[in-house]
Amino acid sequence: DNWSDLINMSLTITADYTATSIPNCDVSLVTPIDGDASVGLSGDISWSEATGGVAGYNLKVGTTSGGSDVVPSTDVANVTTYALGALLESTTYYVSIVPYNSIGVATGCSEFSFTTRGAILGDYCTTAIDLGLEASPYVGTTADASNDNIPICEPDGDASDLYFSILIPNNSTLTIGQTTNDYDSAVSVFYGDCTN
């Protein structure tokens, strides 16, 4: 007829192919970038997809070249991301990503590496930021902090924290509070030193 009709349809498309050769070893580390020397400690890595009919990847990660002390050679299936877990500060990690398919395993693959950053000022009690040396109001962020400090008096979940310190003269008053905040955070105050 002369009237338009609205038709909804859902298609499921499956593409099957038969590999005729091993995949190419043209994988590159995407996150973090190969050679990066200031990587955060989250441990999430990703890589580019290899060409040539990939069925999956064998992943190996270590703290020495060719090592596997972090992730022993593991078939991670056909994914391009992997969560290593929390990484150590100031440590170089070596990553091997080798594609494979039904014909075999790629050869001549490169090893990638990256180095995690060291602790930032205030990440630990022993490196507390001295508020007596800072301007008021202090403006900062915990975005690069990695240590989850949990004083006994105030458990705070699993967020990364920073330590601050200040020496208050006798008969003085210290006022602490947040003026602006773009995250659900809290301030805990305690006195003593890092061991007490």
Query: Phi and psi for 125 in degrees, rounded to 5?
Result: -55, -40
Quick one: 7 exposed, middle or buried, by C-beta within 10 A (0-12, 13-18, 19+)?
exposed
Return the bridge partners of 105, or none: 100
Q: How high is the pLDDT of residue 12? A: 83
Choose the weakest-confidence range: 129-133, 150-154, 169-173: 150-154
pLDDT at position 149: 66
**Is the model more confident about 64 or about 158?**
64
pLDDT at 154 over 70: no
Q: Residue 100 in contact with residue 54, Cβ under 8 Å? A: yes
Give the model's pLDDT for residue 60. Answer: 98
Report d(CA 52, CA 20) in Å as an integer. 9
pLDDT (0 to 100) of residue 148: 65
- The pLDDT-based confidence of 158 (bands split at 50, 70, 90) is low
Q: What are phi and psi of 108, to 5 degrees?
A: 75, 25
Cα 52-58-60 angle, rounded to 5 deg: 135
Which tokens is 125 given?
Answer: 């009690």
Reported as a single tens digit per residue, the pLDDT across 106-143 is 999 999 999 998 878 888 888 899 998 988 888 888 87
Share of the chain above pLDDT 90, in %: 49
pLDDT-derived band at 19 (thresholds 50, 70, 90) equals confident
pLDDT at 65 over 90: yes
Residues 32, 46, 30, 75, CA torsion sign: positive
42 φ, ψ to 5°? -65, -35
Instruction: Give residue 2's pLDDT.
Output: 79
Mean of all residue pLDDT scores within the chain: 87
